[in-house]
Homo-oligomer: A and B are copies of this chain.
Amino acid sequence: MTRSTPKPAVVLLSGGLDSATVVAIARHQGHAVHALSVDYGQRHLAELQAAGRVAAALGCVAHRTVHLDMNQFGGSALTDPAIDVPTSGPQDGIPVTYVPARNTIMLALAMAWAEVLGARDIFVGVNAVDYSGYPDCRPEFIRAFQSMANLATRAGVEGQGLTIHAPLIDWSKAEIIRRGHALGVDYGLTVSCYQADAAGRACGQCDSCRLRKEGFAAAGIPDPTPYR
């Protein structure tokens, strides 16, 4: 019996709950996972440190972090200290925590690495349910990015093609947690909080913490998040 060589895939890994689940899914599908984190000047550096722990725990073959000084543009509560992080629950319209062009930039960086690796698969943990106000978390955005990527790259031009996988896109937080739990993800290693402290402990108050707490409760799985 022969085993085929695992196909490389680039997986965007923030260090949060969603992207850790996506790493586990890509591994379960047999990919050699190359995890990519992007430090775009966000407030929650603790999440990036979590990314390193998650990549090691889930058996990624490589983990790279690209640094990008996006905060010079301003415009988001996550990168601009002049804008408060909301704690009052989702509002109508596009949230102030939306980072301009974030998913486009992160997917473009993943595309660059995929091209160098010869990888034909990119995975991203975008979710249209919990982040319904973010334009770049919608299925139509992912489809449009994939079309563009197949015109932008050697893989597209020379015929093999690139696929952008967004397996969580229509899952509830509880479904994501159940799936990751079944695949052995230790969510105690992940950080979702918009304002985690230096030790990675969550505030328990911000929108991201609230969605995460409700997700564990709805999934019926104990919440391993360290709260401060």
Q: Which residues of A are in contact with B by a Cβ distance under 8 Å? A: 64, 66-70, 72-75, 94, 98-105, 108-109, 111-113, 115-116, 135-136, 138, 140-141, 144-145, 147-149, 151-154, 156-158
Compute how far the CA of A22 lies from the CA of B212 in the bound complex, rounded to whole angstroms: 47
Q: How far is the CB of A77 from chain B (nearest CB, A)?
A: 13
In addition to A64-B73, A66-B70, 13 A-B residue pairs with Cβ atoms within 8 Å of each other are A67-B67, A70-B112, A73-B112, A98-B154, A101-B108, A101-B111, A101-B112, A108-B108, A135-B151, A138-B151, A141-B152, A144-B148, A144-B152
Known contacts A101-B152, A152-B103, A152-B104; A115 and B68 CB within 8 A of each other: no
Q: Are A100 and B72 in contact (CB under 8 A)?
A: no
Kindly report how many copies of this chain are found in the complex they form together.
2
Minimum CB–CB distance for A110 against chain B, Å: 9
Given contacts A108-B101, A111-B104, contact A147 B149 (CB under 8 A): no
**Of B109, B116, B153, which is within 8 A of A135 by CB?**
B153
> Given contacts A135-B154, A148-B147, A154-B135, are A74 and B116 in contact (CB under 8 A)?
yes
A112 touches B116 (CB 8 A): no
Q: When the two chains form the complex, which single residue of B72, B100, B154 contacts A94, counting CB atoms closer than 8 Å? A: B154
Given contacts A100-B111, A152-B136, contact A144 B141 (CB under 8 A): no
Bound-state CA distance A100–B155 (Å) is 11
A145 — nearest CB in chain B belongs to which residue?
B148
Known: A105-B109, A144-B147. A75 touches B115 (CB 8 A): yes
Instruction: Check B157–A94 contact: CB distance below 8 A.
Output: yes
| CB-based contact B144/A116 at 8 Å | no
A109 near B116 with CB under 8 A, answer no
Q: Give the Cβ gap from A109 to chain B, nearest Cβ, in Å.
A: 6
Closest to A158 in B: B94
User: Complex formed: what's the CA distance from A154 to B134 in Å?
Assistant: 9
Asked whether, in the complex, the Cβ of A101 is within 8 Å of the Cβ of B153, the reply is yes
Residues of B within 8 A of A73 (CB): 64, 112-113, 116
A116 to B79, CA, bound (A): 12
